[in-house]
Amino acid sequence: MFTARWNFVNFQSPSYSAILMEFTTPASYANTLVRVSGIATDGKLLLANTNAGDVKHTATKQDSENDWPEPTAASYTWEGKTDDGKEVSAHLEGSLGDRLDRIDVMAEVPGFVKAIVATAAGTKPYIYQYKSKLTLKVKVGDEVKEEEGTLFTEATFIS
């Protein structure tokens, strides 16, 4: 399966570890959205699932080098149930801060080959990486907790 784009989220705080991976396949695979997510706390898995949750780039700016919509702020959501059936939701939202890196995946390929691939296959893969401090809001049943931590996130555009 080929991927048209993906978002990777890794949030770490003193009490929580939250991971969310979201992949979007290209049109040849029906632009299918696939998610895998999980949250751990106190040495145990709070939730783990597929296709429950959400990634949204809430603000973007046009990258002048490649015309991709570079994210500048984002919103991440997890949803699921604990082993004992309690509803769980978590939300992380805010500015991504200064970009750590923009990686041109085909940087080492000669320019003429890169141009042919971009034209023929419609690919121009770039990875945008960020690290910022955000606050995770976790709701388990009726109990709500908030905790600041470090977010490492990656937004990748391929085709």
Tens digits of per-residue pLDDT, 60-87? 999 988 888 999 999 999 999 998 899 9
Q: Are 96 and 153 spatial neighbours (Cβ–Cβ below 8 Å)?
A: yes
pLDDT of residue 41: 95
Letter for the amino acid at 5?
A: R
Whole-structure pTM value: 0.87
Strand 87-95 to 44-50 pairing:
unpaired
Closest CA to 145 of 90, 93, 84: 90
Each residue's pLDDT tens digit, 2-29: 558 899 999 999 999 999 999 988 888 8
Q: How far is CA 39 from the centre of its chain?
A: 14
Residue indicated by tokens 């049109």: 27
Amino acid at 30: A
**H-helix or E-strand containing 68?**
none
Neighbours of 30 (CB within 10 A): 8
State which fold the 5-157 domain adopts.
Answer: AttH-like fold (2.40.370)
Give the residue extent of every domain in the chain: 5-157
Q: Please state, in angstroms and rounded to a whole number, the distance separating the CA atoms of residues 155 and 73.
A: 11
At residue 115, the pLDDT reads: 66
Residue-wise pLDDT for 109-138, tens only, equals 776 666 666 555 556 788 999 999 999 999
pLDDT of the residue at 3: 54
Identify the pLDDT of residue 119.
Answer: 58
- Give 31 or 75, the one with higher predicted confidence: 75
